[in-house]
Amino acid sequence: MEMKKSGDKKQHKSVPILIWLLPLSAIAMSLFGYLEADGVYHRSEVDLLKTPGFTVVLEGVRDGIYPFTLLPAKEQEADKAGAEALSAKESVKQQEADGSGDKALPAEEPKKEQKADEAGEEAHKARTEITVKTEGVETKAEEKSESISESGPDSVSESIDVDMTVYEVPEESGCPVFGAYDYGNASAQYRGPADWSPEKNTEGMFAATGPFYELGEVDESYFADALYIGDSRVDGLCDYGDLEDYATFACRDSLTIYKLFDESLRFSGPGGIRGYASLSEILSFRSYGKIYLQIGINEVGTGNTKQFYEEYQKVLMKLRAAQPLADLYIDGIMHVTASRSSSDPVLNNVNIVERNRAISTLANGRDIFYIDMNPVVCDEKGNLLSELSMDNAHLKASAHSHWREFLLTHAALKQTAFLPAEGRERF
């Protein structure tokens, strides 16, 4: 084989390297991936027929595991790093009911939690102080709250039962979940285990006593101390919801509840403040009066409802710890259009409603509220109106006014003395 001298102007001889280099590199990487699949890459199966072994190596590169770092001396370290990086991914995909999304979240220092606890107690005190003024209502409210907490929430119909009626959430949770029809496409693997239903578990971390709120109308100034967290749908709200002069947004495309504190989020604040920061940083910038969270569409296909619910609960605890005085709004996951829902075994409104039902039970009507904007953008069957979306899953820019209107008319207002007497009986 003639060797070509570099700089040689005569192009007659060429060294055919690609024809050997390409297959050899593919085979070498594949062998490595196949042999190490069990080892460093923690993959139980590599289907050789469809998946060349090198896909494992390339996915490892994405997760930060490089083949050339895996020399024997460093193997143990890399092993550990690989395990951690991958178990985060793996645990999300697992169908077992262990719901360990923990790895995806940074371990919070115990000191912070203690501080947060103290702050939380003070917050509780502050609330009870306020309620003392409306004594008559207060006692009734306490009575009612006791009876409700004892009986527990209305049970979520079993995960396997697909024919859903409108779920009755406890009154203080606010807007009811919109019932969805069975499209016949729900994939059973994404539901929670058959014997599981979400239980209201807010003891010790959320305000157990205090006045109840009802949802009412406000103007934009309400959002001056609001933080809105979420995925690309919130991104759309940030750009087109006409609230950027008031609210702070922290969002990112393809964000999931499992990676909420890990990713760098697009940060947009009033007065033209823009940037990128992690959620922990954003939570430390200032004190927020209310925090909205709409997230869940990206993880409909991974994990089951139980895992999602538990992770959501953990996130709420973290938010509460970071911002003890803020009201937390669980914004129900927006549905998709009929054409998407009826043709997709994963991303359909049956599964979305399932998730929404579960997270709605996390509301307590005191400082955690569940609101669901779907009725203002969906038809009577719970499908996102096709004229409001171009890609069947996001609102068009011009349609965000519906969402904006909804937020302005569904703000949690503390029940005050000037409400008509009849209204007070609810509490």
Partner 1 sequence: MTESSLLFSGIVFLFRLLPAFIIIYLLTPQRYRSISMFFGSLIYYAAIEPHFVWILLLLVMLNALLAAPRSRWRMLLLVSLDVALLAAAKIRCVTAQGAALPVGISFYVFKMISFQADLYTGRLEQKPSFFQAAEYFVMFPQLLQGPIAGYGELYSGNTHKAGIREAEEGVSLLMTGVCMKVLLADQLGLMWEQIRRIGYESISTPLAWLGAYGYSFRLYYDFWGYSLMAAGMLMIFGFPYVENFRHPYAARGVADFYRRWHITLGRFFRDYVYIPLGGSRNGVARAVRNLFVVWLLTGLWHGQSINFLIWAAVLLALILWEKFIAYTLLQKFPILGRLHVWILIPVTWVIFAIHDPVLLKCYMTRLFPFFGNGINVNPQDWRKPLEGCGVELAVSVALLVPAVSGFACRHKDNVILKLVLFALFWFAIYRVVISSSNPFMYLNF
Site residues (vs partner 1, CB under 8 A): 4, 6, 11, 13-19, 21-23, 25-26, 49-52, 54-55, 58-59, 61-62, 231-233, 239-240, 242, 253-254, 297-298, 300-302, 346-347, 390-391, 393-394, 396-401
Nearest distance from residue 379's CB to partner 1, in Å?
Answer: 19
- Least distance from partner 1 to the Cβ atom of residue 372, Å: 18
359: left (phi over 0), alpha (psi -120 to 50) or beta: alpha
Whether the CB-CB separation of 119 and 207 falls below 8 Å is answered with: no
Helix (H, G, I), strand (E, B) or coil at 334: coil
Q: What's the min distance (Å) between Cβ of 10 and partner 1?
A: 10
Q: What share of the chain is helix, strand, coil (3-state, %, to 5)?
A: 45, 10, 45
Comparing CB distances to partner 1, the nearer of 224 and 346 is 346
User: What would the two tokens of residue 230 be?
Assistant: 């979420």
Nearest of 50, 24, 53 to residue 38 by alpha carbon: 53
Q: Please, which residue, 374 or 415, has the CB nearer to partner 1?
A: 374
- Nearest CB to partner 1, comparing residues 161 and 242: 242
Distances (CA, A) of 152 to 172, 199, 278, 361: 13, 8, 36, 10
Q: Which among 266, 264, 247, 267 is positioned nearest to 331, based on CA atoms? A: 247
User: By C-beta, is 216 or 301 nearer to partner 1?
Assistant: 301
Of 137 and 260, which has the nearer Cβ to partner 1? 260
DSSP string, 157-184: PPTT---PPPP---GGG-SPPPP----S
In angstroms, what CA-CA distances link 397 with 382, 401, 422?
21, 9, 41
Q: Nearer to partner 1 by C-beta: 146 or 391?
A: 391
Q: Which is nearer to partner 1, 283 or 353 (CB)?
A: 353
CB 231 within 8 A of CB 255: yes
Residue 99: other Cβ atoms inside 10 A:
20
Distance (Å) of CA 251 to CA 14, 278, 382: 52, 10, 25
Please tell me whether residue 352 adopts helix, strand or coil conformation.
Answer: helix
Q: Choose between 11 and 151: whose C-beta lies nearer to partner 1.
A: 11
Question: 337 forms bridges with which residues in the sheet?
Answer: 384
